[in-house]
Amino acid sequence: MIGIVDYNMNNLTCVKSSIDYLGFKSKIVKYPKTINEVDKIILPGVGAFGDAIKNLKNKGMIEALHDSVIIKKKPFLGICLGAQLVCKESDEHGQNFGFGWFDKKVEKLISKKNFRVPHNGWNNITVNNKKSLLLKNVNNESLFYFNHSHAIDEDSLDCVSATCDHVIKFAAVIEKNNIFAVQFHPEKSQKDGLTLIKNFLTI
């Protein structure tokens, strides 16, 4: 069973529809105790980093996620804002601290000529980790759908499986052991997005 975490800041319908289309069972997780009942966890997200952390804390989800992902080693996938939340900190609307599962920063993209912010639309990724389980059968330079104004720094390439360029080069996919996170929206990225989601579901 796949658990999709609901903390009032995420697009659950598209993610669940993708999982259903692939023939896997999923359910929306609204309460911390329900996280114990699922085998894998997906944390989607849209909106501001600080608000997301506040909502997760108020619902008691951060402790439950830590127990399931860090202690019990359940496979975890963070999507868009959900990917940023697993990092150490973000500069969105001041300094905010995340889960700290990756020692990485989330920084604002700055608009430049020919580069609009938010980064909204299709862009290709550069695959760094050819052995990535999440990117199996996903070709280098494949296109994915992005919608964000902050991005994860690309330093520490040991955990960065793919990057993307928009104003700056940033981390598009990070992974470590049972934890996976993507800056783009695989549920909106057609064939390659479905391939990536299926890869996670079958890990």
Cis bond upstream, residue 44 (ω within 30): no
Parallel, antiparallel, or unpaired for β 96-97 and 126-127? Answer: unpaired
**Is 92 among the residues known to form the active site?**
no
Q: Mean pLDDT, consecutive 10-residue segments, the chain of 203 residues?
A: 92 93 96 95 92 95 97 98 95 89 90 74 94 96 94 83 91 97 96 98 96
User: What local confidence, expressed as pLDDT, does residue 51 receive?
Assistant: 93
Query: Which pLDDT value is given to residue 154?
Result: 87
Max distance between CA atoms of the chain, in angstroms, equals: 49
pLDDT at residue number 157 = 63
Going from N- to C-terminal start, the domains of the chain cover 2-201
As a whole number of Å, the end-to-end CA separation of the chain is: 13
The active-site residue, picked from 92, 154, 175, 187, is 187
80 belongs to the catalytic site: yes
Q: 93 an active-site residue?
A: no
Among the four given CATH numbers 3.40.50.2000, 1.10.340.30, 3.40.50.880, 2.40.50.140, the one describing domain 2-201: 3.40.50.880
CA-wise closest residue to 187 among 85, 44, 47: 44
What is residue 180's predicted lDDT score, i.e. its pLDDT?
Answer: 98
Global confidence as pTM: 0.94
